[in-house]
C-alpha cells in the first residue's frame, strides 16, 4: 500500500453516507472505509446484498475501498431491528463473514476486506487466521482492524500473517491520543516493518447530543487531535467518522434540530441548535447562525479555499436563499456536515497541512 495515503474517512453504509460516498472524489490521498451494518441499505430495496453493495462500491471514486463487517457492535434495546439481525447472523458468525466478503470477489482489485477477531464477540480463537487464509487467496490486499481492548490478543495472530501489501487499522474508539494504552500499542505497531498503518478514532463521541449543544459555541467534548498527532504515534495515516457522531444505530428518535460545523483553521467543532423541537428550526435558526458565525466569516476572509467548491457549504447557502427549500431534514444536515468536513480534509491535504 502506498505510504502517500493520509486519510481514511470511515462511513456506515446508510442512506446519507452512501450519497456522500458516491458523490465525493477521494482521489489518491484518501482510502474510504465502508462499514456494512445491515443486509440492505434500506428496508424496501428489492435487490440482494451482493448487488446493493457491489453497485455502491463500484460507484465510489477511489482507487481502493476498505470494506468492513464491524465486530464492535453490541445489541442494545434501542438498536434498529435490521442492524440487530445482521449483527447476530453475519457480523458475529465466522462462516458468514467470509461468505459475505466473498460476495465482493468481482471487485477484488478495488476492495480491501477488513478482518477483525471474534474472540471477544463469540469466544472463538484464531478467527483472524481463518478469515485471512481464505480471503488472501482472492484479494491482493487485506486489512486487520484491531481495537484497544483486543489488540494484545490480536497482535499475536497478526504478526504471523501480515505481509507488506496488507494494512493494520488501530481503532482507538474515543480514547485520547495521549492515553498510556495507546502509547503502548503504538510502539508495538511501529515495529511492524513495511506494513501500512492507520489510526482510527471517533472525534465526536456518543455522549454528544444536539440538545446539549451550546448554540454557536465550541463543542468542547469533541476531540480531533489525532489529525495533528498521528505521525507522533508512528502511523502513516489517520481516520475518523467524517465530521459526524459515531452513533449506536438507535431506531427512530425525537426531533432535535442540531448541527455540528467543523472549523478547519483551528481544528475545532462548533455546535448550533434550534430554539424549538421543530424541523423548521434548521432553516429559521441554524442555517443563518452558521453562515453569520465567526468561523464562516474568518474562512471567507482568510482561507476561502475551504469554502470554494464546498458542496456542504453551498447547500447551506442554497437553503438560505431558496424560498422553496424548507431544509426540514435532520439526515440532510448530517450529510452537509460530512460534505463540508471531507472538503476540508481534501483542502488540507492539497495545501500540505496533512502530510
Q: Decide: helix, strand or coil at residue 279.
A: coil
**What is the predicted pLDDT for the residue at 268?**
97
Q: Identify any residues that bridge with 143 across adjacent strands, giving them in sequence order.
A: 114, 167
**326-335 residue pLDDT tens:** 999 999 999 9
**What is the predicted pLDDT for the residue at 248?**
78
Q: How large is the C-alpha radius of gyration of the chain?
A: 20
Q: Residue 3 above 70 pLDDT? A: no
**74-131 residue pLDDT tens:** 888 888 899 999 999 999 999 999 999 999 999 999 999 999 999 999 999 999 999 9
Cell numbers representing residue 349 in the block:
491535504
Q: How many Å apart are CA 323 and CA 304, to the nearest integer?
A: 26
Please report which confidence band the pLDDT of residue 172 belongs to, taking 50, 70 and 90 as the band edges. very high
**What is the predicted pLDDT for the residue at 251?**
65
Q: Residue 193 above 90 pLDDT? A: no
**What is the predicted pLDDT for the residue at 42?**
85
**290-315 residue pLDDT tens:** 999 999 999 999 999 999 999 999 99
| CATH number for domain 7-206+219-251, candidates 3.40.190.10, 3.40.50.1950, 3.40.50.300, 3.20.20.70 | 3.20.20.70
Alpha helices in the chain (DSSP H): 15-23, 49-59, 81-86, 94-102, 119-122, 127-135, 151-161, 180-190, 226-229, 281, 287-291, 294-302, 311-321, 330-350
Sign of CA dihedral 137, 138, 139, 140: positive
Mean pLDDT value of segment 258-282: 96
Please report which confidence band the pLDDT of residue 43 belongs to, taking 50, 70 and 90 as the band edges. confident
Mean pLDDT value of segment 161-178: 94
Q: Decide: helix, strand or coil at residue 168.
A: strand
Mean pLDDT of the chain: 94
- Domain coordinates of the chain in residue numbers? 7-206+219-251, 254-355
Q: How many percent of the chain have pLDDT more than 70?
A: 98
Amino acid at each position: 500500500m502506498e505510504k502517500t495515503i493520509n486519510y481514511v474517512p470511515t462511513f456506515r453504509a446508510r442512506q446519507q453516507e452512501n450519497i456522500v460516498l458516491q458523490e465525493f472524489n477521494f482521489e489518491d490521498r484518501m482510502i474510504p472505509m465502508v462499514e456494512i451494518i445491515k443486509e440492505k441499505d434500506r428496508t424496501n430495496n428489492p435487490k440482494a446484498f451482493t448487488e446493493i453493495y457491489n453497485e455502491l462500491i463500484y460507484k465510489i471514486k477511489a482507487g481502493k475501498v476498505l470494506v468492513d463487517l464491524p465486530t464492535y457492535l453490541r445489541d442494545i434495546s434501542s438498536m434498529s431491528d435490521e442492524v440487530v439481525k445482521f449483527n447476530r447472523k453475519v457480523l458475529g458468525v465466522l462462516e458468514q463473514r467470509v461468505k459475505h466478503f466473498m460476495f465482493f470477489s468481482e471487485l477484488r482489485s478495488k476492495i480491501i476486506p477488513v478482518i477483525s477477531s471474534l474472540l471477544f464477540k463469540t469466544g472463538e480463537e484464531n478467527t483472524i487466521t481463518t478469515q485471512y487464509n481464505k480471503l488472501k487467496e482472492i484479494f491482493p490486499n487485506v486489512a486487520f482492524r484491531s481495537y484497544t481492548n483486543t489488540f494484545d490478543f490480536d497482535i499475536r495472530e497478526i504478526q504471523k500473517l501480515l505481509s507488506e501489501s496488507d494494512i493494520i487499522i488501530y481503532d482507538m474508539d474515543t480514547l485520547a491520543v495521549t492515553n498510556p494504552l495507546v502509547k503502548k500499542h503504538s510502539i508495538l505497531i511501529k515495529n511492524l516493518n513495511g506494513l501500512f498503518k492507520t489510526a482510527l478514532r471517533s472525534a465526536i463521541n456518543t455522549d454528544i447530543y444536539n440538545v446539549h449543544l451550546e448554540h454557536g459555541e465550541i463543542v468542547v467534548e469533541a476531540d480531533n487531535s489525532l489529525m495533528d498527532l498521528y505521525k507522533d504515534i508512528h502511523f502513516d495515516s489517520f481516520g475518523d467518522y467524517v465530521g459526524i457522531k459515531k452513533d449506536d444505530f438507535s431506531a427512530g428518535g425525537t426531533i432535535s434540530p442540531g448541527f455540528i460545523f467543523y472549523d478547519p483553521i483551528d481544528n475545532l467543532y462548533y455546535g448550533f441548535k434550534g430554539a424549538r423541537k421543530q424541523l423548521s428550526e434548521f432553516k429559521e435558526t441554524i442555517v443563518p447562525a452558521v453562515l453569520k458565525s465567526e468561523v464562516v466569516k474568518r474562512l471567507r476572509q482568510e482561507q476561502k479555499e475551504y469554502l470554494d467548491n464546498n458542496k456542504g457549504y453551498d447547500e447551506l447557502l442554497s437553503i438560505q436563499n431558496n424560498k422553496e427549500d424548507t431544509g426540514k431534514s435532520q439526515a440532510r444536515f448530517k450529510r452537509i456536515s460530512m460534505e463540508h468536513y471531507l472538503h476540508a480534509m481534501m483542502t488540507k491535504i492539497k495545501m500540505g497541512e496533512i502530510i
